[in-house]
Amino acid sequence: KVIWTLLITILGYASSLPVGDDSICTAEELAKYSIIFTGKWSQTAFPKQYPLYRPPAQWSSMLGVTHSSDYSMWKKNEYASNGVRDFAEKGEAWVLMKEIEEAGEKIQSVHGIFSAPAISSGTGQTSTELEVHSRHPLVSFVVRIVPSPDWFVGIDSLNLCEGDHWMEEVSVDLFPYDAGTDSGFTFSSPNFATIPQDTVTEITCSSPSHPANSFYYPKLKNLPPIAQVTMVKLKKNHLGLPAPYLSVPAKSNEIIDSVSETPLDCEVSQWSSWGLCRGLCRKTGTKIRTRFVLLQPANNGMPCPNLDEETGCAPENCV
């Protein structure tokens, strides 16, 4: 009878737990983390069409949330919400924040919202703090790639709880995603809505498979990380307050650039049609065709070939 009562109690407790990856978190109720976002979008690592002005390469502010498995900010291969669309296309956060707040009110799936300042260059750091709860141990965030049609980096539902304890530190390399709401191929593409809307997809060195794509590097196996995020658990001091975590910013862009150097081959146009044949009558003349450079080589990529070609011909209109 005692064993039967115990089994009923255990089963009743298990059925009351939320479903998902966060259901087995038995760590202390609250934990605070410092989250450091590092941009690695350099001209050395990503030389193709690298934005130098109007506007130059940069990152939007970070918008994130700590939550349970009942909430999802965004997911690969699923449709982006209206809030994620507005943030990825224009950097506007109001609709996304409203979506987060409504999810928190309706199903209590959100513990807190956090944000970090924008970065005014492709390389650099920004940071803030976040708080997770044993029932809300997941972290999600988005940072817009600027300029871009609807491209962003981020994390979807990273679990900081490992059974009975919180992770001390975790670092994740970040790669570009397409929100599926704008059809531009390049960083500076004009706004052209994707109709019907597509799902969120990861941008790789070969996908989309189009030479105009700003991230198209067919000779690479994988794109280098365009950013990185590190989360460090803050230790409590003797007053019970979190001890400050000091992040050391990169001393210069050269340190970040030296991590990855992506060769970029020269790209040239198709040949023009042959020009007029020039020369003396009854003798072999010459005609020329030309092409021009579409993309200058970088980082020891393949140099440009000859832009002029000459061949023999018979002069026309001879008397």
Per-residue pLDDT tens digits for 160-193:
999 999 999 999 999 999 999 999 889 988 888 9
Per-residue pLDDT tens digits for 66-75:
999 999 999 9
Domain C-terminal end among 207, 233, 259: 233
**Angle at the Cα of 108 (from 103 to 113), degrees rounded to 5?**
65
Q: How does DSSP assign 277-302, residue by residue?
A: -BS-TTS-EEEEEE--EEE--BTTPP
- Point out which residues pair with 104 in neighbouring strands: none
Averaged pLDDT, 6-31: 56
Query: CB of 181 within 8 A of CB of 80?
Result: yes
State residue 316's pLDDT score.
Answer: 77
Query: CB of 205 within 8 A of CB of 214?
Result: no
173 with 287, same domain: the answer is: no
Q: What percent of the chain has pLDDT over 90?
A: 56
| Phi–psi pair at 48, nearest 5 degrees | -70, 120
| Residue 299, domain extent | 267-313
161 within domain boundaries: yes
State residue 19's pLDDT score.
Answer: 40
Report the CATH number at residue 194: 2.60.40.2130
192 within domain boundaries: yes
291 within domain boundaries: yes
Whether the bond between 211 and the residue before it is cis, its omega within 30 degrees of 0, is: no
Amino acid occupying residue 209: S
Kindly report whether the global pTM for this prediction surpasses the value 0.85: no
Q: CB-side exposure of 85: number of CA atoms within 13 Å?
A: 15
272 with 224, same domain: the answer is: no
Does residue 80 surpass a pLDDT of 90? yes
Averaged pLDDT, 290-313: 81
128 with 44, same domain: the answer is: yes
Domain C-terminal end among 233, 248, 279: 233
pLDDT-derived band at 300 (thresholds 50, 70, 90) equals: confident
182 with 288, same domain: the answer is: no
Domain count, the chain: 2
Structure tokens at 125: 């750091």
Query: CB of 73 within 8 A of CB of 95?
Result: no
State residue 262's pLDDT score.
Answer: 74
281 with 137, same domain: the answer is: no
Averaged pLDDT, 112-136: 95
